[in-house]
Amino acid sequence: MQTSDTGHSPTRRTVLAAALAGAVGLATAGCARGTQTRPAAGDVVSLFNDNPTWATGYAAAGTALHRLVGYRLSARASPDTSSYQQIVRMSAQTDSTTDLIKWWNGYRLQDIARSGILQDVSSAWDLAAKNGWSNDKELRDSFSYEGKQYGVPLYKSYWAVFYNKPLFAKLKLDVPTDWDEFRRVVATLKAKHITPIASGGATTFESLTWFQQLVNGLDHQFYLDLTAGKASYTDPVCRQAMKLWIELFAAGAFSAPDFNTATVPAQFVQGKMGMHLYGSWNTGAYLSNGVKDANLGLFLLPPPPGGNDSVVVESGVLSVSKKAHKLGAARKVADAWLDPSVQRAWTGFLKDTSADPGVVPKVGAITELAATVRRQKPSQAIRYWEASPPVLIEGNVQDLSAFMINPTAANATRTLSSMQRRADKEWKVWRS
């Protein structure tokens, strides 16, 4: 798990300097090869991202963009996320930047927006609202810094429960509508020697999955206050969330904490896994690994007793570099990104929901999920990974990973205390 530098410790500065030196080498090599930073020619706008497997999707979206604004996309990727972030932070300060940059929203976007490397694209949001493509204030706020927006939604995913439809049908299980029904589904799957819930996280960011879900499900407003530094990790809601998490562990609900979630689709096909709480962006991974569209479902996890209908939302960011070689063209792309024709091409590849609620790809699970969101209108919360200052989140994720190895009441108390001590420190750093 990558950690960020706060600027307080000489040792951490030394480590960062070494990392940045490596990034310089990567960026220089990229420029020499012409794969990362060379200006795009003709009617092409360059886009730097950290997912090489999305090239086909960017090409499809680029074809739709070309019809609208006369520009298509050339996607350049660095598959290592840590190196990718370092290259972006360095190259965006120079004329070696690409025109467009893929990033994360929330505090991670604020972190680079306040360094002055991104272009204000508030007008793209105004255009989207005017045309009825998206008028999502909560989402727009998560793309903002000091009242301006520094990116448009690359995607909008909901953290929901993937479930194995044939397995549920075989065991006569219905999609749970409350917490007790959900616990009965867990118990039934466990009794049949099927892992109820795929859940990795002991060594990855995924340890945030159930923490964010349970805290937000218990009290949406508290989750917002907690991630804004206005509430404490030692408060009753967090303690109750950890208690519920421990109860699920005790019931044998989860896979081993070091479980590799990349193997979930194959285990779904084999009937070894029943459910998986994850971002809806992972739908494509199921479909490309042998899970039939008709066999895959998605539902919103019911809140625990006393909780509220709410859902965690994740959204990638398409930003315009302030030093873009084709600044005007990049801004035109940002303005047109949420146009339905572009979104249909993009989500058709991604197999996920769009920030434009009128665009839903022809995928059974996603259609199901979008209909549920329209019907329930759950409160929406930004994913924990982007919801607070990066250094705070990354440290807390490590604490949660350690908790998953030993999910006891005593360890839960120690974990929450550690998370709050870090919050006290890192919020002070961020606000200064």
What percentage of the chain reaches a pLDDT higher than 70?
A: 91
The predicted model scores a pTM of 0.89
**CA–CA dist 271, 265 (Å, integer):** 10
Average pLDDT over every residue of 206-220 = 97
Average pLDDT over residues 228-250: 98
Within this chain, domains 10-156+316-357 and 157-313+385-431 share the same CATH topology = yes
- For 157-313+385-431, the fitting CATH number among 3.40.190.10, 3.40.50.970, 3.10.20.90, 3.30.2130.10 is 3.40.190.10
Residue 3 has pLDDT above 50, yes or no: no
**CA 178 – CA 191 distance, rounded (Å):** 20
* Count of beta carbons in the 10 Å neighbourhood of residue 288: 11
Quote the CATH superfamily of domain 10-156+316-357: Periplasmic binding protein-like II (3.40.190.10)
From the list 319, 414, 267, the residue with the least C-alpha distance to 85 is: 319
Dist CA 374 CA 369 (whole Å)? 9
Query: What average pLDDT score do residues 23-49 get?
Result: 61
**What is the per-residue burial (b if ≥16 Cβ within 10 Å, else e) of 112-146?**
bbeeebbbbbeebbebbeeeebbebeebbebbbbe
Residue pLDDT, tens place only, 130-169:
999 998 999 999 999 999 999 999 999 999 999 999 999 9
Confidence of residue 402 (pLDDT cuts 50, 70, 90): very high
Q: How far apart are CA 74 and CA 55, in angstroms?
A: 8
**pLDDT at 200 (0 to 100):** 87
The model's pLDDT over 5-34, given as tens digits with 9 standing for 90+, comes to: 333 333 323 333 333 333 334 333 333 333
**Chain segment 169-195, per-residue pLDDT in tens:** 999 999 999 999 999 999 999 999 999
Burial (Cβ within 10 Å: 0-12, 13-18, ≥19) of residue 19: middle
Report d(CA 223, CA 364) in Å as an integer. 31
Q: Tell me, what's the pLDDT at 294?
A: 97
Decide if pLDDT at 330 tops 90: yes
Summarize pLDDT for 64-102 with one digit per residue, the tens.
Answer: 999 999 999 999 999 888 899 999 999 888 888 999 999
What is the overall mean pLDDT for the chain? 90
- pLDDT level of residue 37 (50, 70, 90 thresholds): low
Q: What residue ranges do the domains of the chain occupy?
A: 10-156+316-357, 157-313+385-431
Q: What is the total residue count of the chain?
A: 432
Q: What is the pLDDT of residue 96?
A: 86
- pLDDT score of 275 more than 60: yes
pLDDT bucket at 38, cuts 50 / 70 / 90: low
